[in-house]
Chains A and B, each alone.
Chain A
Amino acid sequence: MTKQTKATKSADNTTRWLVIGMVALVVITGVIFSLISSNTKANESFTALKGYSLGEPVSATVDPAQGSGLVVNPGAPVKIDLWEDPQCPICRVFEEANGAYIDDLVRTKKATVVYHVLSFLGDESVRAANAAMCAADEGHYLDFHKAMYIVQPALENSGFFTGPNLIKIGDYIGIKSASFKDCVTKGSKAQLVQAQENAMSKYKVTGTPTVFINDKLWVRKSSSFDLAEFRLAVEAG
């Protein structure tokens, strides 16, 4: 095939480099704009925690017999097992719908809740899960867990769940002890986080959020999470 040739040959090279330069400029500007906008979003998310009032401490214990889950209120008539990853966006949707109800069940001791904090979505989940377990030592797992989903970034592994940011979450909601900070920085709960993650296969959990009510897998019927539906399922046992 014969190729067409251009009218102004001499200006060809200049134009070409000009075009390449312009395209590069547009792309670089776009990337910078996007980076800045997602950074601002991350910082803005902290303001959502302003004025958070820390709940009463709730004692929780790790039970190796239950997949190393964090058990609150053992012996209550209903048992709920929650398998969640701090970075999982659908878990946030679940928490937005049912989190307050579950917190209430825990605080009024109406249900035993076993929290399994998974970390299969990457390093940042591992760090966040570690921090959540650190908060559990302070008696504030519930608060930290709630706060984590309030600030959860839209992007997984976007560089948000870092040690300093996790400590900042604690600061905002009122977990300020040195032991918590130390535990987050050192990753002291690494083994526990790993153990919870490893329990997935034993309980045949393949995704998050997975919920068991009295050891029976709960399958939602509505297209999104509906509080009324969940409440009914819990009350039915």
Chain B
Amino acid sequence: MRKLNAKYQKLITLIARLTVGGVLLVAGALKAFVPAEAASAVAAYKILPVKIAHIFGYGLPWLEIAIGLLLIAGLSIRLAGVVAGTVMVLFIGAIISVWARGILIDCGCFGGGGAIDPSKAAQVHRTYALEIARDAGLALLTLYLYFFPYGFLSFEKSAEPTKEN
């Protein structure tokens, strides 16, 4: 396992960076220019007071874009990865929270958002599970990036030769 990791680490790191960075960049870009929609999507979780939720909804897409770009370019990977991972954990928490409270919403992850008809409850619950799985997967990738931030096509380079890993 360790050997295998040593052999492919640079590639795995690149894939992890592009996956997490790409998802964040796309998610952020889809929301950044429809601020009203993004703001009400956050408010629909009914976790934060409405005013604070709106501000959060305005800022979150831009944070996603910034972190996404850093990861794709390979700058401050460890820091960007930690922020991305934290954001993913928060998303998971938020979805579990709405699920537990029986609220039916579109997560608004890639734009959209808001309440969903109760008749679609089963479908929404399945979507929640998939979203949690997706975010958990992305969080694991950021964890990998914490330990192995330096790989192919990156502005930042490692001090050690690759073989030492």
Contacts and interface: CB of A to CB of B under 8 A. Distances in A.
Task: Tell me, yes or no, whether A binds B.
Answer: yes
Interface of A: 1-7, 9, 15-16, 19-20, 22-23, 26-31, 33-35, 37-38, 41, 122, 153-159
Instruction: Determine the main DSSP class of B at the interface with A.
Output: helix
B58 A34 contact: yes
Interface residues of B, number: 37
Nearest to A157: B50
B134 to A, nearest CB: 23
8 contacts: A4-B165, A19-B76, A19-B79, A27-B59, A34-B39, A34-B59, A38-B36, A156-B40
A41 B159 contact: no
Contact of A35 (B32, B50, B58, B79): B58
Nearest to B146: A3
B13 to A, nearest CB: 9
B99 interface: no
B66 to A, nearest CB: 4
A156 B50 contact: yes
A5 B36 CA distance: 42
Given A6-B150, A7-B159, A22-B66, A31 B76 contact: no
A6 B158 contact: yes
Nearest to A22: B66
A4 B32 contact: no
